[in-house]
Structure 1
Amino acid sequence: MADRFRRTALVSAFLVAAALALVAFGLTAIPDATTATAQAAEPRAGAAHLGHKMAPAVPVAFGDDPDGDGYIPANPPVTGVVPSTEIPPHRYFHEFQANCSVSHTRPDDPIVYPGQPGASHDHTFMGNTTTAANSTTASLNGGGTACLAPGDKSAYWMPTLYKGNQEIRPIGPQTIYYKSGVTDYRTVRPFPKGLRFVVGSPTQSAEQFRNHPGWVEGWECGNQYNNTEFPATCPTSADVQLNLRFQAPSCWDGKYLDTPNHQSHMAYPVAQGANQDVCPTSHPVALPMIEFKMAWPVNGDMSQVRLASGTGHSFHYDFFNAWDDATLNALVRHCVVGALQCDARGYDQTHPEAGAALNADYELP
């Protein structure tokens, strides 16, 4: 462990020196942090996503990472898990929703640039109302929430969208699905407190975005679907919005709550046979698969629409788990493991006999 820390420190020092040299010569070097396959390489310092200051992030000592090496160990780690290859009883759905509204925007990123206010491009924050550069697991636990379920104090964020210089925020609760990403939905367990990761990368190419394992439908509006970039125009109608769905990796290594590139501790399920998805042996722990389903109230001429991170193919998002453990466990057990299609209360209208996981106030009964 000590040797790894020394290696990480040397690599970090080298990256800082290299970045300064590149700036001095008017150059930039932005690494790509996209984890497209389950066979993730050993994390490397500085492989994080692009900030508006055009410099790679280097792990620093702050909050949950006091030694500053970029690794946040799980305490305790999850060991002895073997990915399930069993075929469970067939059910079409195994999911619930976290309906969370936008609370604020700011140029912060507590995962990539922890403790560094203003170091990132602008982000739109949903869920926890206190999310900022200085956020930690403890501070999020003590914060408020813009989610329907008071027990969901998690932080969700994505690059802010603009039309020209006008900031466009999603209106009302947005749909964040918690699904099973593996065929054996019975093996899905709740997120560990403090788990965090980045989905996608602002430095990814258009092709990488299009072929990303998290791709669902791309950019959509009106009758336009599966766009890698923003459509040139969208029907001018009050009910037409710009939409996007994108899925996160759902297999965890069981060892780290974060790694230097904010992705290597997570992986997407891999196909086994024709109709089965399982976690890879390197990341054997099946967690809920988060799926963003976002809607922005913008239409008409879309030529001036952009993200704070760049063009449409630079879309990415971040997740920092701060759920109340008992609440998340109840929803995962009732809806995902129980193979239901639940709303934010954990209620499936097609199976009323199953009841709900939460009461009318979205809290544990």
Structure 2
Amino acid sequence: MSYSAVPKGRAVLWGSLTVAAVAVAATAVHLTGALAAGPAPTTNAAQTVPATAAGAGAAGAPTSTPKPTAKPTASAKASKNPPPAAPQQATPKGGWIPVDQAAWQKQVAAYQARKTDPVPAGVADIPEFRADCTYSHRLADDPIVFPGLAGASHMHSFFGNKAVDADTTTGDLTRFTATTCKPVLDHSSYWVPTLYDAATKKPVEPTGFRVYYRSIRNNSTGMMPIPTGLRMIAGDAKKRVPTPRGAHGQFYCAFYGPGDLDGVARSSNGNWPICDPNSYATLHYMLQYPDCWDGKNLDSPDHKKHVAYGTDKGCPASHPVRIPSLTFDIQYGVKGTTQGYYLSSDPTGRTASSMHGDAFLVWDTDAMNKRTKNCVLQRRQCDNDGYQN
């Protein structure tokens, strides 16, 4: 799996900080640009860990009882040639899901008691750790937006935990730990809308999927680990705007060496780049998540209200817990075509603007604590196994 230069302004990121990420053959990923800000920040508010449960209107705690038998391989249920039509509408069951405060406070205590490990020589001053995952399976399910409603979603491509379907809970991810990710201590599930070739209507699955966990600020003050069971969505599945050359939120061409990130040509509808056929360039997409959490809820009705973007000064008072920000770096092994592509979330408009990602986060707790403290809090770059040697 190869990763290469990310264009300026292609991802919403970093303020004054430029971050490099290690790639195959030592190619670096550089993310720059202005980060979308949330409400007015409170300086160092992220150091405060709320001890109260969710307020009025919160739903009961998420089901954590694991299923009694192993789940079948989800890929066996995936359609080989899914129709482009939108799925039948269903009523989402989601809502406010309060964190188990006892479990969270136990994780906080263990994190605060943990000592940082000695830093090996040559480790870069880049506050991040990562997971590299491969494609797992494809289903028209979404356990965050449509929990318990099999087939209610548009088609999704899943990465990480192999047992995920519409019925998946935190308990399932904790117990059924077979994964396509490295490290295997990451039991999370990540998914994005499936990409289709517009000419053949066949799915185009990613050939590389890396998840960065990082500080997107110029400091790591108050950084805390991600709580077990946190769910988040980045992007907007309902967005329907053209994505011509230079547009925000488009796919781009990533490559080694010089070249045109917007492609040497465009698809006939202008929404998709065509990469230089004489280069190693292929289609990529970057997707970034918020870096502040309310400290109370693992999910919210729109799957976004419980998290927010902070600034270099800290997190907003409404979301005082500072956590690592996820960034999806998605690689597709195609160069683009005249006919272009479409996402399962927008088969008619065939734009890239509905691209989005879901993250259902369950790590081995000690592994999450250790990486957050060693890598993000201490502002050192770590590979899949922890510190990069």
- Note whether the superposition's TM-score is higher than 0.5: yes
1:340 matched to 2:380: yes
Q: Deviating runs (4+, > 4 A) in structure 1? A: 42-45, 207-212, 226-230
> Given that residues 200 and 209 in structure 1 are in contact (C-alpha distance below 8 angstroms), is that contact kept between their aligned partners in structure 2?
no
Of stretches 280-289 and 238-247 in structure 1, the one that deviates more from structure 2 is 238-247
Aligned counterpart, 1:166: 202
Structure 1 residue aligned with 2:175, among 142, 150, 158? 142
Measured after TM superposition, the shift of residue 110 of structure 1 is 0.2
CA-to-partner distance for each residue in 1:239-258, whole Å, 9 max, x for gaps?
32101112101100011001
TM-score by length of 2: 0.65
- Which of these residues, 123, 129, 148, is aligned with residue 96 of structure 1? 129
Q: Give the Cα separation in 2 of the matches to 1:108 and 1:43.
A: 29
Aligned residue pair count: 280
Checking the alignment, whether the CA contact within 8 Å between 2:242 and 2:271 is kept in structure 1 is: no
* TM superposition shift of 1:184: 3.0
Once residues 71 and 57 of structure 1 are traced to their aligned partners in structure 2, the CA distance between those partners, rounded to angstroms, is 16
Residue of structure 1 in register with 2:97 after alignment: 72
Distance 2:162 2:277 in 1: 32
Does the CA contact (< 8 Å) of 1:97 and 1:344 recur in 2? yes
Structure 2 Cα separation of the partners of residues 148 and 246 of structure 1:
20
Matched, 1:249 2:262: no
Q: What is the identity percentage for the equivalent residue pairs of Structure 1 and Structure 2?
A: 35
Structure 1 residue 293 corresponds to structure 2 residue 326? no
1:187 match: secondary structure = coil
CA contact (8 A) 2:235 2:287 kept: no
Q: Which residue of structure 2 lines up, in the alignment, with residue 32 of structure 1?
A: none
Which range is displaced more, 201-210 or 180-189?
Answer: 201-210
2-structure distance, mates of 1:321, 1:200: 17
Structure 2 match to 1:358: none
Displacement of 1:332: 0.9
Correspondence 1:319-358 to 2 at 5 A: 319-349=359-389
| 1:221 pairs with one of 235, 242, 253 | 253
Cα separation, 2, equivalents of 1:234 and 1:148: 29
Distance of aligned partners of 1:199 and 1:186 in 2 relative to their CA distance in 1, 3 Å threshold: same
SS at match of 2:93: coil
Partner of 2:343: 307
Aligned to 2:187: 153
Counterpart amino acid of 1:159? P
Q: 1:97 to 1:232 in 2, by over 3 A?
A: closer
- Once residues 189 and 110 of structure 1 are traced to their aligned partners in structure 2, the CA distance between those partners, rounded to angstroms, is 26
Shift of 1:186: 3.9
Cα distance per residue 1:220-253 (max 9 Å; x no partner): 1153436997434222357321011121011000
After TM superposition, give the deviation of residue 207 of structure 1 in Å. Answer: 8.4
Kept after mapping to 1: 8 A contact 2:252/2:273? no
Once the two structures are superposed, residues 318-364 of structure 1 have per-residue CA deviations (whole angstroms, 9 ceiling, x without a partner) of: 00011110111111111111211111112234xxxxxxxxxxxxxxx
Partner SS, residue 383 of structure 2: coil
- Unaligned 5+ segments in structure 1 are 1-35, 46-50, 61-69, 82-90, 271-275, 350-365
For residue 160 of structure 1, what is the amino acid of its counterpart? Answer: T
Maintained 8 Å contact 2:243/2:352: no
In the other structure, the counterpart of 2:277 is 236
Give CA-to-partner distance per residue, 1:193-213, whole Å, 9 cap, x none.
Answer: 11101111111253899999x
Q: What TM-score do the two structures reach when normalised by structure 1? A: 0.69
What is the distance in 1 between the residues matched to 2:388 and 2:37? 33
Pairwise CA RMSD: 3.4
**Greater displacement, 292-301 / 119-128:** 292-301
Q: Please name the residue that 2:227 is paired with.
A: 192
Q: Which amino acid aligns with 2:352?
A: G
| Alpha-carbon separation, structure 2, partners of 1:104 and 1:287 | 28
Structure-2 residue corresponding to 1:359 = none
Q: 1:267 to 1:226 in 2, by over 3 A?
A: farther
Contact 1:233 1:302 in 2 (8 A): yes
Per-residue CA deviations over 1:57-100 (Å, capped at 9, x if unaligned) read 4326xxxxxxxxx1110110879x9xxxxxxxxx8510011111
On the 8 A contact 1:236/1:300 being kept in 2, the answer is no
The answer to whether the aligner puts 1:116 opposite 2:149 as a matched pair is: yes
Give 1:116 shift: 0.5
Task: Specify the SS of the correspondent of 2:162.
Answer: coil
1:265 aligns with 2:306: yes
CA distance in 1, matches of 2:354, 2:57: 21
Structure 1 residues 237 and 109: CA distance shift in structure 2, 3 A: farther
Partner of 1:175: 210
Note the alpha carbon deviations across 1:106-160, whole angstroms, 9 max, x for none: 1100000000010000001011111110100011112211111111010000001
**CA separation in 2, counterparts of 1:207 and 1:283?**
33
